[in-house]
Amino acid sequence: MRNTRTKSLPAGRRLPLAFALAAILGIALFALTACASGGNGEGGADSASSDPIEIATKPMTEQYILGEMLKALVEDAGYEANVTKGIGGGTNNIQPAMERGDFDLYPEYTSSGWVLVLDHKAEGVDDAEMLEKLKEEYQANFGMTWVGMYGFNNTFTVAVRDEVAQQHNLKTTSDLAAVAPELVFGGNPDYIEREDGFPVLTETYGLTFKQVMDIDIGLKYQALRNGDIDVTNGFTTDAQLAAGGVTTLEDDKHLQVNYFCSTVVRQDALDSHPGLEEALMKMDGILSDKEMAELNYKVEVEGQDEATVARDFLVSKGLLKG
């Protein structure tokens, strides 16, 4: 801190004693204030923003749970946090809101960011390379980054009834080809019709089923367990997979792109909230596909509160105190 000197005035022009004391006191207070604020214009640890962290989620159970996990960890780091639940349009509406600064962070899936935000093709890049390029391009284009990989992969899967899997020793989707002519496939109409859904599945694996049925997305697992159908499409973290009675087959030809989940966060939020990145990194590697499906089941099927489910899970992992 620079020394401050007072200049003597000529005789007959000296300040009255009260004014001189006030001047000295003012200089002392200024010096103390400068020291407290860092003195060189740079904020210290006490300069952290008091603005709450704004979290967005997509309109799906999984995202509601993840949003509550992120909120709990942010609050545990000493910051206020708000969750805006279930934004319609998902990535297509959340990303522009992130760019405007309406939100600071949200849970996102790697291939969604790669295809929907960066407009790349999903094929031809492995997962490690994709993540590095996501970080580079989000930082360069939007001033954002990806922090922590939760561990689970919410992608398409083929599910068969347990009895069918055991009877025919089905472990991979390739195994299904030999017995498909004896089986009934039931799937939700959009999957059966979409170009990257049922048509490419059957072409890639050489599948010809005895019958193909349109089944409402909310009823297909019930139809599977009831024996009305033998095979269906699903996602690897579907809540109903945790209820048992269903076997998922390995995508051994790597047809489906991966949707690993991570936190997309604005860089300015990380910069203005010391410790935020460390708090978000606590999500790294904590969830398997099975664990995510089980949490979804607790909320969707058992009707438990997503905030309670989220917190209990973090406590069980030793990331929060009970």
Question: Has this prediction a pTM greater than 0.75?
Answer: yes
- Per-residue pLDDT tens digits for 125-137: 899 999 999 999 9
Residue 43: band (very low, low, confident or very high) from pLDDT cuts 50, 70, 90? very low
Q: Judge whether 215 and 232 are in contact, CB under 8 Å.
A: yes
H or E element, residue 96:
helix 91-100
**Whole-angstrom distance between the N-terminal and C-terminal Cα of the chain?**
46
What pLDDT is stored for residue 303 in this prediction? 97
Q: Judge whether 205 and 176 are in contact, CB under 8 Å.
A: yes
Q: Which residues pair with 265 in a beta bridge?
A: 105, 145
- Per-residue pLDDT tens digits for 234-252: 999 999 999 889 999 999 9
Strand, coil or helix: 228: coil
Please compute the mean of the pLDDT values over residues 158-169 and round it to a whole number: 97
- Per-residue pLDDT tens digits for 259-306: 999 999 999 999 999 999 999 999 999 999 999 999 999 999 999 999
Whether 5 has a pLDDT exceeding 80, the answer reads no
- Per-residue pLDDT tens digits for 74-119: 999 999 999 999 999 999 999 999 999 999 999 999 999 999 999 9
What pLDDT is stored for residue 47 in this prediction? 59
Joined together, the tokens standing for residue 197 give 């859904």
H or E element, residue 187:
strand 184-187
Q: What is the mean pLDDT of the chain?
A: 87
CA dist., res. 125 & res. 111, Å (int): 10
